[in-house]
Amino acid sequence: MKPQKGNFFCWLPFQQIALKEWGSNAIHGNGAGIRSVSMCCNTYRPGYEDPLKLDRKLRSGKIKPTAKELFHGPEMTKIREYMLKGKKHPACKVCWDQEKLSFKENSSYRLNNKTPYHPDVEVNNPKLIGIDFQFDENCNLRCRMCSPSNSNKLRMDYNFFEENNIDTSNVPGFDWQRDRSLNINADAYKGSEKETRKWTDDDNEQWLDILKNINDLRYIRATGGETLIARGFLQFLDRAIEADAAKEIVLDIHSNCTKFTNVMIEKLNHFKKLSLHASIDSVGKNYEYVRYPMPWNKLDKSINNLCSKIKCETQVHMVSVASSITAHYQKDLFDYTNDLKQKYPHIKFDYFADCVHPADRGISLQFLPKEIKQKLLNDWENTQKQFYEYQSKIRNSRDGDEYHDVEFINGANFNVVISLISNSLKRKELPSDKENFLKELKAFDRSRDQDYRDFLHEDVVKWLDSNH
């Protein structure tokens, strides 16, 4: 059995759980420890929260299960039973919705995981061999498509908007007017950008149990904040090396790739494999606009430092979030990825483009005017065609000698973005499309002393500054 169109099977519930929010005694009292659990990171997105319906109990402190107890609990067991019976479980609604949007084969997260992440996986004898962590929200960047709950530095923007009475209504994560009207205690949003509020105490029993049983793990997936500076991630690395477990563990991490120091690379080299999801959405000035305040040349230096010094088996997945801000620069990022592959042929590279979430926010591609979307669609399809044509030549070549001196990335998937643009071509354009886009752009421009005209593609700027 494998995930494919026509069934509802996924490997992930048979091998891992996702622990994406933790709490400390100082902030959460009885609710310290594990505060959120799901099957994978993909099932816990804006609009799809709490798929296992356990978060309320965890946050109240009424239950304190270990990671293994959650994995073998009735909620996860039920999902596995549904999948083995060929039934669609509602907890996996994110993938079902993505597959409804596109008929292409790799249109969802589960369909991109066609093989088990580790050969030890048995559907009739599931074992917890992987954990998908969000360690904390400590970050060094203030990315425009992110939120203060995932980057403590974005609290600077949230507080700026509120203090200066800037309209950010319906901007996900920054709608301070809504938070105030609903009397929401937005403790993940307000306060100092130097604090972290989504990680647990060093002596938390649930966390210590994971470290105690670290030799049972064969992989972890990790996000932040910025994973490479998260306290819990650093503790995990050190414990795995100390327990001689690192050589059996695959690190599958998301990173903005700006913190690959020599010390960090030396630690990573102890592990069996590094699977790096490189969160890079654009190049040059456009990159600097989105992933403020990072200079492009500093990012480039960091990722080249990793590629030149990493010794363990390594695969780099370039993961781009396409929005109305970045979509015109995807070909440049694609070419940059190919340049890295030529420079470091011992490393596998691939490219995956996703859409900004939630899909109805102001910077979503679907709200651009039809003529711009049509041009973008042509550009994206041509880039994908370029990749497919090269792969076809390699397959049809007798021995590959003709292309021996041309290194090309190992995989590329643009289906999600192409489907969104294509499906939105027929939608009726509304005045609110431009209004919401400009509202979001200008709010952040004020908090960073930027001007979108200096960073966005000329077609987008022309439309934004026009009277229609």
For the chain (468 residues), the mean pLDDT of every run of 10, in chain order, is 86 94 89 93 81 94 96 97 94 88 68 69 92 94 93 94 95 88 61 79 96 97 95 98 98 98 99 97 98 99 99 96 96 93 93 90 97 97 84 59 49 86 95 97 98 98 93
Neighbouring C-beta atoms of residue 278, cutoff 10 Å: 21
Domain end marker among 246, 277, 299: 246
- Residue 412 resides in a domain: yes
Strand-pairing partners, residue 432, are none
- Residue 165 resides in a domain: no
Rounded Cα distance between 38 and 131, Å, is 10
- Residue 194 resides in a domain: no
Residue 364 and residue 445 in one domain:
yes
Neighbouring C-beta atoms of residue 391, cutoff 10 Å: 15
For position 293, what pLDDT does the model report?
A: 98
Residue 360 and residue 273 in one domain:
yes
- Residue 197 resides in a domain: no
Report CA dihedral (202, 228, 278, 345) to the nearest 10 degrees.
-120
* C-alpha neighbours within 13 Å on the C-beta side of residue 351: 27
Cis-peptide into 191, omega within 30 deg: no
Residue 298 and residue 404 in one domain:
yes
Residue 55 and residue 119 in one domain:
yes
Rounded Cα distance between 328 and 370, Å, is 15
SS3 content of the chain, % helix, strand, coil (to 5): 45, 10, 40
Rg of the chain over all Cα atoms, to the nearest angstrom = 22
Strand-pairing partners, residue 112, are none
Which residue has tokens 């965890």? 58
Domain end marker among 215, 246, 277: 246
- Residue 447 resides in a domain: yes
For position 389, what pLDDT does the model report?
A: 79
Residue 353 and residue 437 in one domain:
yes
Residue 309 and residue 456 in one domain:
yes
Dihedral of alpha carbons 375, 381, 386, 387, sign:
positive
Q: Please enumerate in sequence order all residues whose Cβ is within 8 A of that of 52, keeping only pairs 6 or more positions apart, or say none.
A: 37, 38, 39, 75, 76, 91
Domain count, the chain: 2
Residue 293 and residue 428 in one domain:
yes
- Residue 6 resides in a domain: yes
Residue 315 and residue 455 in one domain:
yes
- Residue 177 resides in a domain: no
Q: Please enumerate in sequence order all residues whose Cβ is within 8 A of that of 330, keeping only pairs 6 or more positions apart, or say none.
A: 282, 320, 322, 353, 379, 380, 383, 417
Residue 223 and residue 317 in one domain:
no
SS3 316: strand
Residue 370 and residue 451 in one domain:
yes
Residue 24 and residue 92 in one domain:
yes
Strand ordering across the sheet containing 250-255: 33-38, 16-23, 130-134, 219-223, 250-255, 273-279, 313-322, 348-355, 411-413
- Residue 219 resides in a domain: yes
Residue 71 and residue 15 in one domain:
yes
Domain span including residue 43: 1-134+203-246
